[in-house]
Amino acid sequence: MDLDFSGRIAFVTGGGSGIGEACARFLAARGSPVIVADVNAEAAARVAADIGGEALTLDVGEEEQVERAIAQAWSKQGPIAVLVNSAGILQRMLPPSKLSLREWDSVARIDLRGTYVCCASLGTRMAAQGSGAIVNIASVAGMRSGPLHSYGPAKAGVISLTECLAAEWGPSGVRVNAVSPGFTRTPALTRGMASGALQETRLSGGSAMGRLVTPEEIAAAVGFLASDLASGITGVNLPVDLGYLVATPWATYGGLRQSPGRGEA
Ligand code: NAI
């Protein structure tokens, strides 16, 4: 019982960048043949070449494309043991008067519907074979209110979906869990900071540990939940947020105390 994924094929959506890329690398380094699925063909090919995996171009919002790609991968490479759903897009922080329904739909289509489509296609096959582990990337934004009127509800939906499918497929031996990252230094977040929409000091300062999460820290939690070490765990949502969720209410009381190491004892 360890973090050995030898011979266990993993399918990682959004595997061409950020958290998905870190998950693909983590699993491959522990023996998993990884299928790197991403809408960005070049990114998927780069990561797959690096880790000795297979690249697959795929838009998780297109159910027929997903079903076809998964059916092909399953028959060509063999049963898939692990699914990581990391494909996702962030959202502009607009009030409802400025947030078009087009943008609202596009975030929900990829982040929530796309996660469901991949779960439905692969999870059904895993359930038929009697085993499998799915890890969905949700977000702390799905656990607290924020100015993200599509992204927040979509991620809350991913957490709910994780619970529903864990109960659905538990009797068939398939575990379904979620990881909710805090602010994580990925290309998507870096773009948000470069545009001025997000400030690194605020993002870091919001967490108890005072920094950004690394994609590798998310991948380690995903790897644990996908592994046999977590054989007793299904239907949970594990925040990997450096204490963002526990630290934010302290703002009401004047903020976190200074570390004795850094300030007064
Ligand atoms: P990223 O932009 O670095 O990577 C996302 C990848 O998903 C990209 O390679 C992109 O091409 C792919 N992708 C986007 N739409 C797709 C689609 N329709 N079909 C297939 N692939 C698609 O972003 P990052 O930051 O690594 O985000 C990964 C996941 O983590 C997302 O679900 C995001 O919501 C979630 N997350 C990220 C946080 C952060 O602070 N970076 C915090 C909480 C959650």
Q: Where are the domains of the chain?
A: 9-182+215-237
Does the C-beta of 139 come closer than 6 Å to ligand 1?
yes
Indicate if the alpha-carbon torsion angle 249, 252, 253, 254 is positive or negative: positive
CA of 87 to the centre of ligand 1 (A): 5
Instruction: State which of 11, 12, 13, 19 you would mutate to test the pocket of ligand 1, scoring each by most atoms of that ligand within 8 A of its C-beta.
Output: 19
Does the C-beta of 93 come closer than 6 Å to ligand 1?
no
What is the structure's pLDDT at 1? 53
Which atom of ligand 1 approaches the CA of 215 most closely? 26
Neighbours of 9 (CB within 10 A): 21
pLDDT digits (tens, 9 = 90+) for 206-241: 999 999 999 999 999 999 999 999 999 999 999 999
What is the structure's pLDDT at 265? 46
Rounded Cα gap, residues 22 and 10, in angstroms: 13
Catalytic residue list:
151
What is the structure's pLDDT at 261? 64
Indicate if the alpha-carbon torsion angle 170, 157, 66, 78 is positive or negative: negative
Rounded Cα gap, residues 265 and 76, in angstroms: 62
Does the C-beta of 223 come closer than 6 Å to ligand 1?
no
Rounded Cα gap, residues 59 and 39, in angstroms: 5
Rounded Cα gap, residues 218 and 182, in angstroms: 9
Residue 198 main-chain phi, psi, to 5 deg: -125, 145
CA of 184 to the centre of ligand 1 (A): 11
CATH class of this structure's domain 9-182+215-237:
alpha beta
Q: What global pTM score does this model have?
A: 0.97
Instruction: State which of 12, 17, 191 you would mutate to test the pocket of ligand 1, scoring each by most atoms of that ligand within 8 A of its C-beta.
Output: 17
Does the C-beta of 86 come closer than 6 Å to ligand 1?
yes
Low-confidence ranges of the chain (pLDDT < 50): 265
Look-up of token digits 């289509």 = 109
Instruction: State which of 39, 109, 237 you would mutate to test the pocket of ligand 1, scoring each by most atoms of that ligand within 8 A of its C-beta.
Output: 39
CB 18 within 8 A of CB 186: yes
